[in-house]
Amino acid sequence: MREAGVAAAICGDLATLERAINDSTAFVLLTEEAMVGGDLRGIATWLAAQPAWSDLPFIVLTRRGGDVERNPAAARVSQVLGNVTFLERPFHPTSFVSLARTAVRSRLRQFEARTRMRELVEGEQRLQTALLAGRLGSWEFDVASRRVTASDAFKALFGRQPHESPTYDDLVSSIHPEDRSWSQDAMRRSIASGGDYTIEYRTVWRDGSVRWAEIRARVVRDAGNGPRLIGVSADITERKTAEERLRQLNETLEERVAERTRALEDAHRVVVAEITQRERAENQLRQAQKMEMIGQLTGGIAHDFNNLLMAVLGNLEMLRKYVPGDARANRLIEGASQGAQRGAVLTQRLLAFARQQELRAEPSDVAALVRGMTDLLSRSIGTRVELTIDVPDDLPNAMIDGNQVELALLNLAVNARDAMPDGGSLAIRAEAVDNSAGGDLAPGRYIRLSVADTGCGMDAETLAKATEPFFSTKEVGKGTGLGLSMVHGLAVQLGGALRLTSQLGKGTVAELWLPVTDSPVSGQEDACAMAPRLDPARGLKVLVVDDDVLISMSTADMLQDLGHDAIEVNSGERALEVLAQGTPVDLIITDFSMPRMTGAELAVKVREMRPTLPILLATGYAETPAGPDLPRLSKPYQQAQLGEEIVKLMTGRVRQS
């Protein structure tokens, strides 16, 4: 048995065995000779007292087997010991080991049954404790036999004593006559549908007193048996009494309130308005939170898309230089470039919606901006739409990104044109207004730039979704659904708002609120034109850092074509290793969004190693990086933009030195 992995204790006689066996014994091995003339009564007594889960296995070694005809004593042994297996000698060790392991497995199953029985008993005890603590009664109703099994607490609900055994009809007759019929109908529906049975009704005790009972039950269908209802009950008389008192009190209060209604009508209207405003603010907050989450996702997608477009545009631009005389190839390259540029415009709309586009807000003359777009707007809306522009001369300046506001105004005008397929009128107005009501705008002065059309308008449901990303009422392929969401994102990013009002069949008014500034419009100067060009004979040693291999390769190719020498690395850590090795570097161009170390974090470490080394940060969206203030290059960029930024950066360095 030791070789088989079964621990054993040897008993020299039956008396020792009787003292040794207990509930933890796996099985007992007896030889037939050990029982000859022995007293098995003590063992038999122990076996008879075994708990319900226990049936201790015995293996008896015999020379005559377990057949009664060959071994008449086998019947007596089986009768005394119960769970007996006879093994005839001589036997093969394999047979013995198999039999011993079978006995162990049998005993382990018994131990498992013991554990389950204990858990059931403990669970039942906990249930009873919970029922007592909650003053709940338990009950069970067998539908087929109409037999009720109930706890004392359940009987008490119907005015019955613990020693009584009321029938189902007895309990039904105790239900208040007004509640009896519909309560029984509800039970029948629950049994038929299998749904839960939850009900409150009155019971009438034999002394005539009325109590309230709450009944909850669930339909149980066991295999081979009919449906049963098993549930709990509670006396809710005190609660119902309190509710009735509360109802009466409410009626009294309502009567008093009715007498004073006229005097309080106005006050009832500081309260309704306040509640309405609060609900509106809560709805706006929920909508803003939802749009913020969508914006974060959209910004991430646009960033990745910008990287792809960067590689496509950069390689197309370089490829164009290798086929200067091939008209067909140039036509194909031009088509691919235009498609990629359209993708870049789409990502700008995505970034505008996500409020992650890079804005250059500065004091701007909105009146001049709108008037300067007159020809462009006229061409965009066509001859069937009458355009009027009303912009006063004394309009204050606004803190905006002029290019982005022009794009937003053009988007609004095109949307208005599409809403007037049969023609109409489009009015663009600008005025200075004060906002003190709060809401979606901070208090202060704003320029309200409105675009009003006489088109088909929108119903309330469409208007509520108008600024959501990718929502469009246009046919498939005729709109991206990003126009209004881009304008909304731009307005919020500038510290303003986009407000839409519309009526079906009467047109739409889009108001772009832009923050006013007291600062004057600064003169524009072309830094690239004023800055002296670098000596083309002197190429720069440029360290290109980007975790996207396609981007780093494309940038390196453009740099080499510009006459510079590029070193490509794909992480901030690797860039620091190159600098630590003493490699001469004139300029670093690094992506911002990289795993483990961002471009801004890399810049901080580079400044510690080489404080004067110029760093150009390339980014696909307008995150505000923590760290030093760095010049930026927006993705996707082309070779000319890359060259101009390098010239500006290096020229500024020369001037500082």
Last residue of a domain, one of 240, 260, 286: 240
Can you give the pLDDT at residue 179?
93
Are residue 382 and residue 491 in the same domain, yes or no? yes
Q: Is residue 642 part of a domain?
A: yes
CATH code of 39's domain: 3.40.50.2300
Average pLDDT of the residues in 322-333: 75
Q: Is residue 584 part of a domain?
A: yes
Q: Quick one: 494 and 383 in the same domain?
A: yes
Instruction: Clarify whether residues 381 and 483 are in a common domain.
Output: yes
What pLDDT does residue 65 have? Answer: 72
DSSP for residue 522:
P
β-partners of residue 218 are: 230
**Which of residues 557 and 282 earns the better pLDDT score?**
557
* Residue range 153-185, pLDDT digits in tens: 888 888 889 898 889 999 899 999 999 999 999
* Most confident residue range from 163-167, 495-499, 569-573: 569-573
Per-position DSSP letters for 425-478, written without gaps between them? EEEEEEEEEEE-S-TTS-SEEEEEEEEEE-S----HHHHHHTTSTT--SSPTTS
Query: How many separate domains does the chain show?
Result: 5
Residues 376 and 487 in one domain: yes
Side by side, the strands of the sheet bearing 615-619 are: 565-569, 541-545, 587-591, 615-619, 632-634
Residue 126 resides in a domain: no
Mark which of 303, 322, 354 sits at the end of a domain: 354
Tokens of 514: 């832009």
**Sign of the CA dihedral with 409 first, then 415, 421, and 424 last:** negative
**What's the pLDDT score for residue 299?**
58
pLDDT, average across residues 331-342: 73
The residue among 120, 151, 178 that closes a domain is 120
Highest mean pLDDT among 3-12, 54-63, 125-134, 318-327: 54-63
More confident residue, 638 or 397: 397
Q: Would you state the pLDDT for residue 650?
A: 85
> Which CATH number fits the domain that encloses residue 479?
3.30.565.10
Instruction: In whole angstroms, give the CA distance from residue 589 to residue 596.
Output: 18
CA dist., res. 349 & res. 353, Å (int): 6
Helix ranges restricted to H, 167-270:
168-173, 177-193, 237-259, 261-268
Tokens linked to 357: 């586009």
Cis upstream peptide for 90 (omega within 30°): yes
Cα–Cα–Cα angle for 347, 352, 357, rounded to 5 degrees: 80
CB count in 10 Å sphere of residue 484: 23
Residue 110: pLDDT over 50: yes
pLDDT at 553 over 80: yes
Single pTM value for the model: 0.43
Residues 107 and 208 placed together within one structural domain of the fold: no
In a domain, 626, yes or no: yes
Clarify whether residues 368 and 473 are in a common domain. yes
Peptide bond into 392 cis (omega under 30): no
Q: Which residue in 504, 426, 427 sits closest to 462, CA to CA?
A: 504
The DSSP output letter for 175 is B
In a domain, 482, yes or no: yes
- Are 90 and 142 found together in one domain? no
In sequence order, the 6+-apart residues with CB closer than 8 A to the CB of 276 are none
Report pLDDT for 424: 93
Q: What is the pLDDT of residues 81-105, one digit of tens each?
A: 888 988 888 888 888 889 999 999 9
Same domain, 471 and 372: yes
Q: Looking at the predicted structure, is the pLDDT value of residue 510 above 50?
A: yes
- Write down the number of H helices and E strands in the chain: 22, 20
- Return the percentage of the chain with pLDDT > 70, whole number: 82
DSSP conformation letters of 523-560: PP--HHHHSPPP-TTS--EEEEE-S-HHHHHHHHHHHH
**636 upstream amide cis, omega within 30 of 0:** yes
- In-domain check, residue 603: yes
- In terms of domains, do 342 and 434 share one? no
Q: Measure the CA–CA gap between 590 and 112, rounded to whole angstroms.
A: 66
Contact indicator for 189, 167 with CB cutoff of 8 Å: no
More confident residue, 225 or 457: 457
Q: Please, what is the average pLDDT of the chain? A: 81
CA distance 570 to 553: 10
> Higher-confidence residue: 542 or 639?
542
* CB contact set of 29 (below 8 Å; sequence gap of 6+): 1, 8, 58, 59, 61, 100
pLDDT of 542 = 94
Residue 35 lies in a domain: yes
User: Do 199 and 337 fall within a single domain?
Assistant: no
Residues 511 and 578 in one domain: no
By residue range, what is the domain housing residue 85? 14-120
Pair 574, 501 in one domain: no
- List all residues 6 or more positions away from 177 whose beta carbon is below 8 Å from its beta carbon: 204
What letter would DSSP give residue 516? Answer: B
Looking up residue 196, the CATH number of its domain turns out to be: 3.30.450.20
Contact call for residues 288 and 439 (beta carbons, < 8 A) = no
d(CA 582, CA 473): 60
Task: Count CB atoms within 10 A of the CB of residue 447.
Answer: 24
Residues 6+ apart with CB under 8 A from 589: 542, 543, 544, 545, 555, 616, 618, 633
Q: What does the pLDDT look like over 124-135, one tens digit per residue? A: 666 666 566 556
Residue 530 scores a pLDDT above 60? no
Residue 205, pLDDT above cutoff 80: yes
Q: Give the pLDDT confidence score for residue 342 in this predicted structure.
A: 67
In a domain, 435, yes or no: yes
Q: Which residue has the higher pLDDT, 523 or 439?
A: 439
Q: Which two tokens stand for residue 94?
A: 């394999």
